[in-house]
């Protein structure tokens, strides 16, 4: 009892000081305040009791042209706030190179939320997880030898400090007390699931307050368990938890209050669905149990964030993998997440059930539901004939970067974030036939060629690290390695590419490698293809190109119909695995033979209006239908129906 009274008094003093500071600040800002009223387990917004029901949306997963549409739908669904991560890797792709324009215009996104009468909860990180490559951390951190991410390791803290000193001053004018919509900022993310370096998390807390001021409301998010909260909790930072439907809400609340005796009860990630992997079932969360648990949360006066409310897409190569060496799995291009607003922005049953429930708890007088379409019109196009351009080997003379190394190097060592690396060397001995090629340090998937002829595929997900090959003294060995996504959870210190030695028959060590950079980002890839097409070399599809990764291209125009272009979905029936580029936009990976995602979302704004030409390019890795019949089967099509829950290979 004495301890509780002492804690109560301490919190009261802390709140009193905070309120005093904010009173001074808000006198100059029309009395805008947002504070945690710890003694009464609630928030106070402008002096009045407040709670939020928010939804997660990630600006980097939604085409910029659709930001306002999605935000408007979220407000019309009854939400009074949104939650978004800040993805460091997108804003600082290389050290000291910052990007806050276009798709990365975080400030514009936050301002748009404010125009839709939505408050903003900002999850700054620097680590965010979010099923993004390296959990949103920039790949170049791993170029520092022996760095330990997400700790007080100075090699990690130095770039973190530099990043926060760039980001947080941009955020400060958008804080609620300064006239903006941001009411809270998250420090790190689910740290109790990873480590227990309190020096690191306290350093982040103090850095946030140094730049943003002591009045800012900071919070942490961790799993619903004592083990998570023990290390995830940061002193003098609001603690929140996350869990999905079917959880015992009363017990979850008790768990939270064992680690934070006072303060509002908050679920920062109430799961509307779940993440999805290639070669696995698509995850669904049924509406009824979801609504039942949500209602129980609201009855307990909880503030809730629905994760995800609109999932969006993993465009480019930004999807993560998870599982590490034991059970590595790459995530889908789609981040539909079975969310209330689906990948293409359509409203489903879950959306309306949530809206009707929220209306019983939050004011709805300022919500405008006019001009909200539940389902937008989609377009389908006739089949498009693809034309073979070149194999991966034809590209090599046009590549700008290659490295000579005695031993294989990783993606990070050759300063490449995503895409592919091609490793080449020559055998300098007489191997047995067949011989066993071993690449135990493979991350993540590799095509093997002997004298530019397909020999087989190695795969980390399938634990295939050995391959029988036919070769001779002097044979050229080529290994094309695909980075399928760095881990976003747990195994985040992993490098990509070939991280160890390559041997033949477990005794002959292969050395003297030429390593070609194939980042295949939109600009470099399209430029390389353009150079190849402009060369005088005439490239013809030949039978010996069977299963050699190759590029295919098509130009097409849209029909002159009202409203076109519309959203649609790329269908690659007959194709195996690859990457699709539409008018310089990387739509992401397709892998219909693996499933469960069969089609790929192609947003309407990525198309050119008629009569302008559109261009689509496929980099097909495994096997194209063109090999069987280049006249009739070498086609793709844009269709109206999105399939993210199709049959999967196992």
Give me the pLDDT at residue 534, please.
Answer: 83
CATH code of the domain made up of 50-358: 3.20.20.80
Question: If 0-12 CB within 10 Å is exposed, 13-18 middle and 19+ buried, where does residue 415 land?
Answer: middle
**Which residues, in sequence order, are CB contacts of 511 under 8 Å at separation 6+?**
406, 407, 425
Instruction: Report d(CA 341, CA 70) in Å as an integer.
Output: 8
Confidence of residue 15 (pLDDT cuts 50, 70, 90): very low
**Closest by CA position to 416, among listed 125, 138, 6, 60:** 138
Give me the pLDDT at residue 632, please.
Answer: 62
pLDDT at 21 over 90: no
Here the tokens at position 634 are: 């070498």
Give me the pLDDT at residue 513, please.
Answer: 98
**Among the options 87, 92, 177, 190, which is catalytic?**
190
Question: What topology is assigned to 407-511 in CATH?
Answer: Jelly Rolls (2.60.120)
* Mean pLDDT rounded to a whole number for the chain: 93
Give me the pLDDT at residue 218, please.
Answer: 98
Structurally, at CATH architecture level, domain 384-389+521-639 sits in Sandwich (2.60)
Confidence of residue 7 (pLDDT cuts 50, 70, 90): very low
Residue 131 known to be catalytic: no
Instruction: Give me the DSSP letters along 498-513.
Output: E-S--EETTTEE---E
For the question of whether the overall pTM of this predicted structure is more than 0.85, the answer is yes
Give me the pLDDT at residue 26, please.
Answer: 39
Give me the pLDDT at residue 74, please.
Answer: 98
Is omega for the bond preceding 434 within 30 degrees of 0, making it cis?
yes
pLDDT at 326 over 90: no
Confidence of residue 28 (pLDDT cuts 50, 70, 90): very low
**Among the options 87, 92, 131, 269, which is catalytic?**
269
Instruction: Report d(CA 315, CA 83) in Å as an integer.
Output: 20
Confidence of residue 628 (pLDDT cuts 50, 70, 90): low
Give me the pLDDT at residue 257, please.
Answer: 97
Each domain of the chain, given as residue ranges in start order, spans 50-358, 384-389+521-639, 407-511
What percentage of the chain has pLDDT greater than the value 90?
A: 85
CA torsion, ordered 613, 619, 620, 625, to nearest 10 deg: 20
Size of the chain, expressed as the number of residues it contains: 650
Instruction: Report d(CA 558, CA 86) in Å as an integer.
Output: 36
Instruction: Report d(CA 205, CA 237) in Å as an integer.
Output: 8
Distance of CA 558 to the CA centre of its chain: 31
Q: How would you classify the pairing of strands 578-582 and 614-620?
A: antiparallel
Give me the pLDDT at residue 16, please.
Answer: 44
pLDDT at 639 over 60: yes
Contact 443, 497 (CB under 8 A): yes
Q: How would you classify the pairing of strands 476-482 and 445-450?
A: antiparallel
Identify which has the larger pLDDT, 504 or 28.
504
**Which residues, in sequence order, are CB contacts of 465 under 8 Å at separation 6+?**
438, 439, 440, 442, 458
Q: What's the rounded mean pLDDT across residues 325-330?
A: 90
pLDDT at 34 over 70: yes
**Which residues, in sequence order, are CB contacts of 382 under 8 Å at separation 6+?**
637
Using one digit for the tens of pLDDT, what is the confidence trace for 175-208? 999 999 999 999 999 999 999 999 999 999 999 9
Distance of CA 40 to the CA centre of its chain: 37
Give me the pLDDT at residue 209, please.
Answer: 98
Using one digit for the tens of pLDDT, what is the confidence trace for 407-416? 999 999 999 9
CA torsion, ordered 155, 157, 159, 161, to nearest 10 deg: -160
In the DSSP assignment, the letter for residue 117 is T
Here the tokens at position 507 are: 């005794």
Helix (H) or strand (E) holding 574: none
pLDDT at 43 over 50: yes
Using one digit for the tens of pLDDT, what is the confidence trace for 573-598? 999 999 999 999 999 999 999 999 99
What percentage of the chain has pLDDT greater than the value 70?
A: 93
Residue 165 known to be catalytic: no
Instruction: Report d(CA 568, CA 566) in Å as an integer.
Output: 6
Give me the pLDDT at residue 293, please.
Answer: 98
Q: What's the rounded mean pLDDT across residues 545-572?
A: 94
Using one digit for the tens of pLDDT, what is the confidence trace for 383-408? 999 999 999 999 999 887 999 999 99
Lowest mean pLDDT among 246-250, 265-269, 488-492, 514-518: 488-492
Same fold, 384-389+521-639 and 407-511: yes
């Amino acid at each position: 009892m004495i301890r509780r009274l002492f804690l109560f008094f301490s919190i009261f003093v802390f709140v009193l000081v905070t309120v005093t500071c904010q009173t001074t600040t808000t006198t100059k800002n029309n009395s805008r305040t947002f504070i945690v009223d710890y003694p009464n387990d609630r928030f106070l917004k402008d002096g009045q009791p407040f709670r939020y029901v928010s939804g997660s949306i990630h600006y980097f997963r939604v085409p910029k042209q659709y930001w306002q549409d999605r935000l408007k739908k979220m407000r019309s669904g009854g939400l009074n706030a949104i939650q978004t991560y800040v993805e460091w890797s997108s804003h600082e792709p290389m050290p000291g190179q910052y990007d806050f324009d276009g798709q990365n215009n975080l400030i514009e996104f936050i301002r748009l939320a404010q125009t839709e009468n939505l408050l903003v909860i900002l999850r700054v990180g620097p680590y965010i997880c979010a099923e993004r490559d390296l959990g949103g951390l920039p790949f170049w951190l791993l170029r520092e030898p022996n760095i330990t991410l997400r700790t007080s390791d100075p090699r990690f803290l130095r770039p973190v400090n530099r990043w926060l000193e760039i980001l947080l001053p941009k955020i400060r004018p958008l804080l609620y007390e300064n006239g903006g919509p941001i009411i809270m900022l998250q420090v790190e993310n689910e740290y109790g699931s990873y480590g227990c370096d309190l020096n690191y998390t306290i350093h982040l807390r103090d850095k946030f307050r140094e730049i943003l001021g002591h009045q800012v409301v900071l919070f942490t998010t961790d799993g619903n368990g004592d083990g998570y909260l023990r290390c995830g909790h940061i002193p003098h930072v609001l603690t929140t938890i996350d869990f999905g439907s079917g959880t015992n809400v009363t017990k979850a609340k008790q768990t939270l209050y064992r680690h934070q005796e006072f303060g509002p009860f908050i679920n920062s990630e109430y799961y509307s669905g779940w993440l999805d992997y290639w070669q696995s079932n698509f995850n669904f969360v049924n509406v009824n149990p979801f609504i039942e648990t949500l209602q129980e949360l609201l009855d307990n006066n909880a503030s809730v964030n629905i994760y995800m409310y609109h999932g969006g897409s993993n465009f480019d190569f930004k999807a993560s993998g998870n599982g590490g060496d034991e059970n590595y799995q790459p995530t889908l291009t789609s981040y539909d997440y079975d969310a209330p607003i689906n990948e293409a922005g359509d409203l489903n049953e879950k959306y309306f059930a949530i809206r009707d429930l929220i209306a019983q708890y939050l004011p709805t007088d300022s919500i405008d539901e006019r001009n909200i379409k539940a389902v937008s019109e989609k377009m389908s196009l006739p089949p498009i004939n693809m034309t073979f351009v070149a194999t991966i080997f034809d590209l090599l003379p046009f590549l700008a970067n290659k490295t000579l190394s005695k031993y294989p190097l990783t993606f990070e060592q050759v300063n490449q974030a995503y895409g592919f690396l091609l490793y080449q060397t020559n055998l300098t001995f007489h191997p047995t036939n067949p011989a066993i090629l071993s690449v135990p340090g493979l991350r993540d998937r590799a095509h093997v060629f002997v004298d530019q002829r397909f020999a087989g595929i190695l795969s980390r997900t399938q634990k295939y690290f050995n391959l029988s090959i036919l070769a001779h003294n002097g044979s050229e060995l080529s290994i094309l390695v695909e980075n399928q996504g760095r881990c976003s959870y747990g195994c985040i210190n992993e490098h990509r590419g070939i991280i160890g030695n390559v041997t033949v028959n477990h005794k002959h060590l292969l050395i003297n490698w030429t390593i070609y950079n194939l980042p295949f980002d939109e600009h470099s890839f399209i430029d390389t293809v353009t150079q190849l097409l402009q060369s005088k070399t005439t490239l013809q599809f030949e039978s010996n190109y069977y299963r050699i990764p190759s590029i295919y291209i098509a130009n097409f125009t849209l029909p002159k119909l009202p409203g076109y272009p519309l959203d649609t979905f790329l269908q690659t029936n007959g194709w195996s695995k690859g990457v699709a580029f539409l008018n310089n936009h990387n739509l992401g990976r397709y892998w219909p033979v693996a499933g469960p995602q069969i089609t790929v979302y192609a947003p309407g704004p990525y198309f050119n209006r008629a009569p302008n030409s559109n261009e689509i390019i496929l980099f097909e890795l495994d096997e194209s239908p063109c090999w069987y019949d280049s006249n009739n089967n070498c086609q793709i099509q844009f269709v109206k129906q999105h399939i993210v829950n199709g049959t999967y290979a196992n």
